[in-house]
Amino acid sequence: MKIRNRKRVLVTGGAGFLGSHLCERLLKEGDDVICLDNFYTGTKDNIQHLMENPFFEVMRHDVTFPLYVEVDEIYNLACPASPIHYQFDPVQTTKTSVHGAINMLGLAKRTKARIFQASTSEVYGDPEQHPQTESYWGHVNPIGSRSCYDEGKRCAETLFFDYYRQHNLDIKVGRIFNTYGPNMHPNDGRVVSNFIMQALTDQPITIYGDGQQSRSFCYVDDLIEAFVRLMASPAEVTGPINLGNPNEFTILELAEQVIEMTHSRSKIEKRPLPDDDPKQRQPDISLAKKTLDWEPKTLLEEGLKKTIPYFENLVKAGIKQ
């Protein structure tokens, strides 16, 4: 019998929102997948349907500690990504980004693996340039309540490029903009999950500020396609590269669309704007189009139609905000 030559792929944060979708995609590609998670925000519910696959392995482990496995590729997604979760233990959040990057880069160096860093649009802070290009250095508060995440991710990028320059490591850095879809944590405080859960339970839709701050929303399947393409790109394509949907919507527009699509009786309730909340966030994806031949395909309404049933099932199961 011929033994198939499968890639051995490690996904840190593999039981989280993005990680679980990535694990599923990689298994469909025929890879041998190790899902690594400490289950701080990730959940086994997200990966339960993958457990029967003989080429899927789950490891409970925290990336702030060294890991010794043999792999060909590493997707480093481990880090709480919503303000509610990353501000709960800000020191640990910074450790996850910085120590986690050091440990995964060390693993990649030892195994000669190609490594992908899930960076974020938060590296741009509250941007003065709109839309944001990869050459923009950002407008970030280094000592604010969100800095544990913003600066942790910025430091991780620094480490990746220093390992690239100093050790010739094969790196890929993607800057992820707002993404939504099934498997989002219902209590993560992010705007899409918040609005849908509030609408489905007829609670007030909470908008911070006047609702005119804008975001760009990318459906998860489109983002995972970008991950896979970036990982498979030529070695000289290191990034950082913006990965997101350039179509821009105000928070108020999103709230009104969710209310309409869920047939909710919810009313919109305005609250004070949180510290360091960016007023605009929109990617320039020219580089992704050019180097990866990638751009999102899913319109917001279409993506919400695929996302709302997931939250409806959570509400039916008695899961609340």
The angle subtended at Cα 244 by Cα 124 and Cα 8, nearest 5°, is 105
Examine the residue annotation and report whether 149 is marked as an active-site residue of this protein. yes
Quote the CA–CA distance of 146 and 143 in Å, as a whole number. Answer: 8
For 69, 74, 110, 119, 230, the CA distances from 113, given in Å and listed in that order, are 11, 7, 8, 18, 15
DSSP tag of 233 = S
Q: Among 124, 128, 108, 135, which residue's Cα sits nearest to residue 239?
A: 135
- 3-state SS assignment for residue 268: strand
The whole-angstrom distance between residue 121's C-alpha and the CA centroid of its chain comes to: 10
Give the helix/strand (H/E) hosting 56. Answer: strand 56-60
Residue 33 DSSP symbol: E
**How much helix, strand and coil, in percent to the nearest 5, is found in the chain?**
40, 20, 40
Question: CA-to-CA distance for 270 and 210, rounded, in angstroms?
Answer: 7
* Residue 306 main-chain phi, psi, to 5 deg: -85, -20
Please write down the HEC assignment for all residues of 70-127: CCCEEEECCCCCCHHHHCCCHHHHHHHHHHHHHHHHHHHHHHCCEEEEEEEHHHHECC
Catalytic residue among 75, 149, 180, 219: 149
Residues 6+ apart with CB under 8 A from 301: 257, 261
Q: What residues are labeled active site?
A: 149
